[in-house]
Chains A and B, each alone.
Chain A
């Protein structure tokens, strides 16, 4: 190997080390697909239970917790549905990313992973508490826009510590959240697009791009 080729290799090594030590690169794209599927299943369950059509303007009136049409049982169903989607998604993201880092022979819980989780959790838990407050006040139509906006902010915030694509995904989620707040009747539809379809799309994109 020539001296010059040696130097070029050394520089490439350094680039790799810089990136690997400061970013969590084992983020699993396929877990994004799984999360998207869970989200769509959750939304489908809700549409069936509430007996509404995605494109008809009635979501806001039906979801109104203060109206007499909202029974305790429906309310509990909505909460359980949301909780199940959340737990399944967190589990899929964590487990599949740990598996991927094992496969890539990278540490799964290093400084970069910690920074990713912390920066993700700050906007996410703030949004979570805000959602709990709105649930307590019975304003369930706020859940779709708030979860979208705060999740989007969390992604933008965390994107510095993982693959770059996460940033654009976050911005799209924020836009969908604002749309959902502006047109509450399409709140659940925006949520299905954001958490369902975008996750599947970006998941496949990240999976194919970072597979090597």
Chain B
């Protein structure tokens, strides 16, 4: 059972990022940071890791003259996260 848990989600911050992106079409960096209340460097490293797994997509654009980076979940990411949640649920049920 433990084998089903996805190593890529083994962090509070990554679980948080995925949770927020699952229910929103696209979220920018600042909003993610405010929601999760972690530092720039910390969240950036987790975002990069999730991006490497191709679980999230990054979109960089300019709003006026300000650069804006927004993130959204990929189909692969959705599938992986759902499987991870199912595994978590099973784990809790068994130990109960």
Determine if A7 and B19 form an interchain contact, defined as CB atoms under 8 angstroms apart.
no
* Band of interface residues on A: 10 to 19
Cβ of B22 < 8 Å from any Cβ of A? Answer: yes
- In chain A, positions 6-28 with a C-beta closer than 8 Å to chain B are 7-8, 10-11, 13-15, 17-18, 20-22
A13 to B92, CA, bound (A): 16
Whether A13 contacts B31 in the complex (CB less than 8 A), given A7-B92, A8-B92, comes out as no
Q: Which residues of A contact B19 (CB under 8 A)?
A: 13-15, 17-18, 21
Is A10's CB under 8 angstroms from B12's CB? yes
Task: Write the nearest CB–CB distance from A7 to chain B, whole angstroms.
Answer: 6
Quick one: CB contact mask for B51-80 with A, threshold 8 Å, 1 for yes? 000000000000000000000000000000
| Distance in Å: Cβ of B77 to nearest Cβ of chain A | 14
Central interface residue in A4, A10, A21, A107, by most chain B CB within 10 Å: A21
A110 to B27, CA, bound (A): 10
Contacts of A110 in B (CB 8 A): 31, 34
Complex CA gap A107/B16 in Å reads 17
Q: Which residue of B27, B88, B92, B95 is within 8 Å of A111 (Cβ)? A: B27
Q: Say yes or no: B24 contacts A107, CB within 8 Å.
A: no
Chain B stretch 14-32: residues in CB contact (< 8 A) with chain A: 15-16, 18-20, 22-24, 27, 31
Give A110's nearest chain B residue, CB to CB.
Answer: B31
A95-127 CB contacts (< 8 Å) to partner B: 107, 110-111
9 A-B contact pairs sorted by A residue (CB < 8 Å): A4-B92, A10-B12, A10-B88, A13-B19, A14-B19, A15-B19, A21-B19, A111-B24, A111-B27
